[in-house]
Amino acid sequence: MGVDTIKEALPAYAKDTRLNLGSVTTTSSLSPQRLWGALVATAVASRNAVVLREIAEEAAKNVSPEAIEAAKAAASIMAMNNVYYRGKHLIGDEAYQSLPARLRMQVIGNPGVDKADFELWCLAVSAVTGCGVCLESHERALIKTGASREHVHDALRIAAVVHAAAVTLDAEAALAGLDPLGTKTARVPWGRGPSVSHQVTASRW
């Protein structure tokens, strides 16, 4: 169970992703807490049930429950912040920059773990969701804490590979006729019932 399960589930055409997943989880400049927190946070952000479940299970063997909760908190708060700050930036009107967010973000100030670790996880999530403003902000904050650019780079590598694994497994599930809950969707001819499809219980993998 864990990362190896994800690697085994990846199809042959995703060999690069499979090998990269092994690389980012075994050869990293990050501490175990930063590594596994980044993996959990980006798995949440990538929104694939298999990837999240397997990474979270292995993370629980390597870091504390508090670290896992903080990693999930990073993914949760950045799901909001990435949309908000990217939206303000993309509008392109400087007048919006002076408007207060009026959104609660207290977990950033009190994440329950080392703040530099939390900043790294926020950066990794921002890479998945593509918020340039947030990436710049968290990168600057990390460098000020003494984190190296190698640490930032490794967080980006983790984000990229976890997202690739999630996208690939989502695609394979869709092609196999499985919905996100792992039930098989069988098509019903149009007009033969109240619904165009019905659910058939099936194992996802």
Instruction: Give 178's DSSP letter.
Output: B
Q: Is 131 a catalytic residue?
A: yes
Confidence (pLDDT) at 180: 56
Which is catalytic among the residues 52, 56, 134, 166? 134
Name 130's Cβ contacts closer than 8 Å, sequence gap at least 6: 82, 86
Confidence (pLDDT) at 189: 43
Confidence (pLDDT) at 181: 56
Report the distance separating Cα 70 and Cα 114, nearest Å: 10
Regions of the chain where pLDDT drops below 50: 187-205
Q: Is 134 a catalytic residue?
A: yes
User: Tokens 């939206």 correspond to what residue?
Assistant: 87
Confidence (pLDDT) at 176: 87
Helical H segments across the chain, by residue range: 3-9, 15-26, 32-46, 49-59, 65-91, 106-109, 115-129, 132-144, 149-175
Which is catalytic among the residues 21, 39, 131, 169? 131
Go through the domains of the chain in sequence order and give each one's CATH number: 3-178 (1.20.1290.10)
